[in-house]
Amino acid sequence: MVKLSRFLLQAALAGIAVAVIVALFFPGLLDQERNGAGAIPHASEPATGIQGPVSYASGVARAAPAVVNITTSRIVEVPHPLAGEQVPPGFFHEPPHSPADREQASLGSGVIMTSAGHVLTNHHVIEKAEAIAVVLANGDAHPAEIIGIDPDTDLAVLRIVAPGVTAASIGRSRDLRVGDVVLAIGNPFGVGQTVTQGIVSATGRTELGINLFEDFIQTDAAINPGNSGGALINALGELVGINTAIFTRSGGSHGIGFAIPVDLARDVMNEIIEHGRVARGWLGIEVQALDRALAESFGMDHTRGVLIAGILRDGPAARAGLQPGDVVVRLDGQQVDNTRGALNIIARKRPGHDIAIDARRDGELIHLEATVDIRPI
């Protein structure tokens, strides 16, 4: 009996020792037993590839010195308040129809693009300006000269003489993806440099009626009046776009803003600096969009392509053999979906280079080659 009691005591002590060891060194085994085989597993640690920064301050600090405020002024004529009214002769020193001059000022933003002081902004920011000043992030103001403009993309290049300016770090807008974090830096409503944050809502936006040549980045980062010409940057502080416009019915931001991709803006700037203007391809054609009825009349079961409505005599298209009534379906190997897309493909072609044209004529597919000319201003 004593031996049996001693055996049971030893077994109990061994069981306790095993339980202590498991509890100390293998607590997961107890959790599994407690939860049962059908228990929901603990969430795994998030993948490091999708973790974002806690703060974007480093990126903003990298980009902010290159973002400037732009002030413009011009003299406008204001009609006399009694213009057109009958007043006694000699009642005024000047006749009531004489206009008065008044200085009109406006604000915008810009981005320093080179260490030589070239500043990129929107054309509409400096349009009709008689005096332009660029205010740096440190508060210093410098007069600016206009190097060139490109109204078709709403871009303008200025230059200031200011030693030691900080140029923006340029990113690649073609690498942007929907959902990427972006920040807008500018001078909204003249309150001073301001940063707003959002994501890329869409890329390649066209048919907005803002510019002749459109390829916008859409973002929900707040862009307000005064932000025009400012920087759209990624989380690393690299410039990816030039803020241009907002969709609004009230004058304020509704989370739909548009920026010109930096890849396009940089090409325009380089053309202006090197040649004084942007040289775009031109074929001398008038195009018309296809609707369902027109497409069916040409034996087509879709509306992709553009109808040649007119051709300039002796122009590049006429010399290539294109005719009114032809339906262009491909240009330079790219499918043509609409009129704006067709014009963009032609405009991107360097003057003097050949462009392939695939068109439908009388139900047959034809292939032509045209040498593009420079687009008239």
How far, CA to CA in Å, does 215 sit from each of 107, 125, 153, 262? 25, 20, 9, 11
Q: Which of 154, 326, 358, 373 is catalytic?
A: 154
Token pair recorded at residue 85: 């009214």
In the residue annotation, 228 being an active-site residue is answered as yes
- DSSP code string of 159-191: E---TTPPPPPB--GGG--TT-EEEEEE-GGGS
In the residue annotation, 152 being an active-site residue is answered as no
- Yes or no: say if 154 and 211 are a contact pair by the CB < 8 Å rule: yes
Contacts of 330 (CB under 8 A, 6+ apart): 336, 356, 357, 358
In the residue annotation, 106 being an active-site residue is answered as no
- Yes or no: say if 123 and 115 are a contact pair by the CB < 8 Å rule: no
- The stretches of 26-112 forming alpha helices (DSSP H) are 27-35, 57-63
What is the 3-state composition of the chain as percent helix, strand, coil, each rounded to the nearest 5? 25, 35, 40
Q: Which of 118, 123, 124, 142 is catalytic?
A: 124
Q: Nearest to residue 256, comparing CAs of 268, 246, 266, 271?
A: 246
Torsion sign (Cα): 311, 312, 317, 319: positive
Q: Which of 106, 109, 173, 228 is catalytic?
A: 228
- Yes or no: say if 122 and 156 are a contact pair by the CB < 8 Å rule: yes
Exposed e or buried b per residue across 66-96, where buried means at least 16 C-beta atoms within 10 angstroms of its C-beta: bbbbbbbeeeeeeeeeeeeeeeeeeeeeeee
* 262 vs 168: CA distance, rounded Å: 11
Q: What angle do CA 236, 262, 108 make, to 5 degrees?
A: 90
Q: Which residues are catalytic?
A: 124, 154, 228
